Every structure is written in C-alpha cells, then in structure tokens.
Amino acid sequence: MTSSDIKIEFEGFRLVGINGDDMAATHLESRFGDGLARFVRRVVRKGRGAGSLAEFVLSEASNIRAQRLNLERDELVSELVGRICAVVTGQSLAGRVDTISATDKPTVFAM
C-alpha cells in the first residue's frame, strides 16, 4: 500500500465521518490503529517529529500530561490514537465538525 493509497483511505473515513457516521473514528482506528500507535509512540518517545500530525501529537500529549500526571505511556498512546481518529473523521471531543484533510484539500461545507 502506497502513501497515496493511505491518504485516499483516510479521506474516505473523513468524508464518512462528516456525513454523520458515528462509527467512522472506530473504523479508522481498527484499520490504521497499529500503524498510528507506532507513529505516536515514536513521536512521544523522541519528543519531536516532522509534519502537522507530529505537531498535533506533541501538543495533545502535552495537554493530556498536564491534566493526568501519572499516565502510563501506553495509555497516553491509546488516548492520542483515539483523538487522531476522532479529529480526522470530524468527531472531535468538543462535538464539532473539525477535520484534518489527508489530501491537502480544504473541507468545504455547502450552505
């Protein structure tokens, strides 16, 4: 599977989530959770990474650790993977549609 294939699949999950599928984040996590967990674990361990996803991981990790000081690394990684999947599919914790596009195309809402 190429990076283009992965981007296309991520975009499909994002669109399904925006269109109201409550399970989109869960399906995304079941499909890519292991790879995302490896990525998140590496970024958290190194404390740095390239790209907007790594920046998101570091920012969210800092926020989580500030609130939950004794959190184990595996719990942190699991929480971060869940947050990534929620944001990608527009099911963020605040209950608003707030997505990250994998294809560099902005989300457009028709009114």
Kindly state whether residue 95 falls inside one of the protein's structural domains: no
Kindly state whether residue 93 falls inside one of the protein's structural domains: no
Kindly state whether residue 82 falls inside one of the protein's structural domains: yes
CA contacts within 13 A on the Cβ side of 35 = 10
State yes or no: pLDDT of 25 exceeds 50: yes
pLDDT in tens, 41-95: 999 999 998 888 899 999 999 999 999 888 899 999 999 999 888 888 877 655 4
Total number of domains in the chain: 1
| Distance, CA of 77 to CA of 97 (rounded, Å) | 23
Kindly state whether residue 97 falls inside one of the protein's structural domains: no
| Distance, CA of 61 to CA of 41 (rounded, Å) | 11
Binned at pLDDT 50, 70 and 90, residue 108 comes out as very low
The range of the structural domain enclosing residue 74 comes to 3-88
Helix (H, G, I), strand (E, B) or coil at 82: helix
What pLDDT, on a 0 to 100 scale, did the predictor assign at position 61?
94
Kindly state whether residue 20 falls inside one of the protein's structural domains: yes
Kindly state whether residue 110 falls inside one of the protein's structural domains: no
